[in-house]
Structure 1
Amino acid sequence: MALQDLPVMLSGYRLMITEAPVAKVREADDGTVTPVVDRVSGAVQYVVTLFAKPVPVEGRKVGKGEEIRVNLPGDPGKGFEEGTYVELVNAVVNTYEIPDRIDPRKIASAGLWFKAAGLKSVTRSARSAA
């Protein structure tokens, strides 16, 4: 069973854009590439790649961080280039499972994916103080 749209709180992380938002695309078996559109609004969806680094906490070792990809419902607009610090608006996480082809009772692969309603630019000094 896949869990959908679980609210996620990332206030303990600094999020920096490592790949600017681009239209999300899907490649068909024949090699054609088409943009992914929202089923309800028909708008082209976007994806942004962020580096999520834990905010230092006194007395704790700071982790290295992870790169995450976040789906967005549309173009977030100007000002979201590589190196920009951001917050996610209404961030959620979703899970997925792919059953094993031989034994469908087993899970061959599982994972999670992030999505957000948008991006909000954050000054690094203000975010570091948090």
Structure 2
Amino acid sequence: MHTNVPVVLDGYKLQVTEDPVLKMRQDENGNDVAVTDREGVQQYVVMVFGKPRGQDGRPNGRGVEVKVTLETEPGEDITSGATVELINPRLSYWTNDNGKHRCGIAYRATGVKLAG
């Protein structure tokens, strides 16, 4: 199982597409509760659109929107439309076989900051 694989985003422009929010899940009673790490620190979610930067006059390639879990509070300056950099971005492959085989890639970062 591949977990916490570093992601190199040099050459990509990342733009926030939705304001960051507290990461939530439903407990066994159907109540929404905040997601925390093992130390009890709340997690956040930010949606970013990543697109390769054009080089040598060539056009940019296609982009993709990605949901990223943040391990620290993003700060008030990280809002929809902001161009950002992810701090310590990584990905993990996950699988869940509870009657329906599901799998995917989860994206995480220690934090996020304004680009530049």
* Alignment counterpart, residue 98 of structure 1, candidates 91, 96, 110: 96
* Alignment counterpart, residue 88 of structure 1, candidates 73, 86, 89: 86
Q: Which residue of 2 aligns with 1:37?
A: 36
Percent identical pairs in the alignment equals: 36
Scaled by the length of structure 1, what TM-score is found? 0.79
Q: Which has the higher helix share?
A: 1
Deviates more, 1:93-102 or 1:29-38: 93-102
- Report the AA paired with residue 118 of structure 1: G
Question: RMSD of the TM alignment (CA)?
Answer: 2.0
Q: What are the residue-to-residue correspondences of 1:1-130 with 2, within 5 Å?
A: 2-28=1-27, 30-40=29-39, 42-58=40-56, 62-99=60-97, 101=99, 108-123=101-116
Which 5+ residue runs of structure 1 have no aligned equivalent? Answer: 103-107, 124-130
Moved runs in structure 1, 4+ residues, more than 4 A? Answer: none
Residues in 2 aligned to 1:59 and 1:80: alpha-carbon distance in whole angstroms:
30
Q: Which has the higher strand share?
A: 2
Scaled by the length of structure 2, what TM-score is found? 0.88
Pair 1:100–1:61, CA change in 2 (3 A): farther
Deviates more, 1:24-33 or 1:109-118: 24-33
Give 1:74 shift. Answer: 2.5
Which 5+ residue runs of structure 2 have no aligned equivalent? Answer: none
Q: 1:27-53: per-residue Cα shift (whole Å, max 9, x none)?
A: 23543100001112x111101000011
Q: 1:21-77: per-residue Cα shift (whole Å, max 9, x none)?
A: 11000023543100001112x111101000011111347653221100111112121
The alignment covers a number of residue pairs equal to 116
Mark the structure with the bigger radius of gyration. 1
